[in-house]
Structures are given as structure tokens and as C-alpha cells.
Amino acid sequence: MARRRQDHPRRETFAPRLVIMAKSPVAGRVKRRLAREIGDVATVRFYRSALAHIVCRLAADPRWRTYLAVAPDTAVTAPIWPSPRNVARIPQGAGDLGTRMQALFERLPPGPVVIVGTDIPAIRPSHVARAFKLLGHADVVFGPTPDGGYWLVGQKRSPRPVVPFDGVPWSTEDALAATLANLRGKIVAFAPRLSDVDTPEDFSREGKNAERLMPSLGRRPLQPRRA
């Protein structure tokens, strides 16, 4: 007699948790540096496509529980977000980027947490899985970007979350270095380096990834908006 296969649900306690941080995809709120060059319409179209693509791609993986942390908080119930059934929406809260990320690390249930953004067209579930694996022996993991920032940050949160974001100059080439300076004495690991999309040059460099997210632009390269 064949042995009956039993499926056991993943225990919620100490389960890996992925947080995708997203802003309401409207003009003037997202990718302002990119919008100054290519215009609000193209920028919002790219952001909406990237948001939906990344949420659906990463949330489909059963190895972690996925959350969409949205800003502003009042938009948490708005019908503008990708809505896979297994994705819980939560507010980001107030404060600068570091304050909001720290609040997420501190308020989620126990277990490792990885936070990513929505402007990394090359991100794959394998990148997130690698970050969680690194947290098996590290306190904190980062996914660096070529411009001195990072596309991913994760914490083991055992026995408690660390506080690495004090005084970090966000949106500068010193963001990662300043964060690392707050982590002396902690074990830090690094996921693969990936590029975010902040400028037309970033968009062009990402090429196939960006065009796949925004097919309506076709293969025609984006040009800076004329003054």
C-alpha cells in the first residue's frame, strides 16, 4: 500500500519574511530623479510595471512569506497595488527610509527578514533565497548597488534586531559605507550586486530587464526630457 503523502503548512513562527517597499505609483511620488529626465508619464509607467512584476515574481515563491509595505500609509487599502492572495499589505509608517525600515524589522513576527525595493528589474527569487541563506551565519546581509547604495538589506533578528541606519546619508554614494560603519562587531554578508534604476543611464544599462517590464516603450531608447 502506498504511503499517503501529507502536506504540512509552514510554521509562521520564525518563518523567513520578505518585505517589498513600494510608494503609491503616481506622478511626483516615485523616481523623481528619473522623472526629471524622461517625464512623469514614462516614469510612472515604468514604476507600475516594475512594481507588479517584482511583487508577482517574488511572492510566488513558497520559501518565504511576502509583505508589501506601502507609502503613504493611507493608501494601504487602495486598489492600485498588485494583489496576489499570499501578499499582506502593511503601512511603512513615518520618517526617513532608515526609520521606516527599522520599524519593519522591529514589528514583524520573529524570524529572518529581508527588505527590497521595486526598482531592481534584474531581481530574481534566487537572489532573495541567497540572502536568506547568508543570514544563516550573518547578522545582516546587504545587496550592494554600483552607486554606493544597496538594493537589499536583511537581518537575522536574533536575539533582536540591530540598529544600523542612524545618520545614513540616503541617495548618496556613501549610503552603504555609512550603514556598515554602524555595524562594527556584527557579522555582515553580501548578496550579489544589482543595479537600481534612478537615471536614463541606469534604464539604458538595464536594457532587456527594463524593456520587459515596460513593453509599451518598445526598444526605442528613452531620451531626456527637453527643458
Whether 223 is in a domain gets the answer: no
Cis ω before 72 (30° cut-off from 0) = yes
Whether 55 is in a domain gets the answer: yes
- CATH code where residue 154 lies: 3.90.550.10
Domain span holding position 84:
22-214
For the segment 119-151, what is each residue's pLDDT rounded down to a tens digit?
888 899 999 999 999 999 999 999 999 999 999
CA dist., res. 56 & res. 53, Å (int): 5
Query: Could you give the angle at the alpha carbon of 89 between the alpha carbons of 134 and 16, nearest 5°?
Result: 20
| Number of domains the chain contains | 1
Residue % of the chain over a pLDDT of 70: 85
Cis ω before 159 (30° cut-off from 0) = yes
Model confidence, pTM: 0.86
Q: In 3D, which of 225, 226, 210 has the Cα closest to residue 49?
A: 210
For the segment 77-127, what is each residue's pLDDT rounded down to a tens digit?
999 898 888 899 999 999 999 999 999 999 999 999 999 999 888 899 999
Whether 5 is in a domain gets the answer: no
Whether 65 is in a domain gets the answer: yes
| pLDDT for 210 | 57
Whether 127 is in a domain gets the answer: yes
Separation in Å, CA 103 to CA 17, 30, 182? 14, 21, 17
pLDDT at 169 over 90: yes
For the segment 8-43, what is each residue's pLDDT rounded down to a tens digit?
444 566 789 999 999 998 888 888 888 888 888 888
Residue % of the chain over a pLDDT of 90: 61
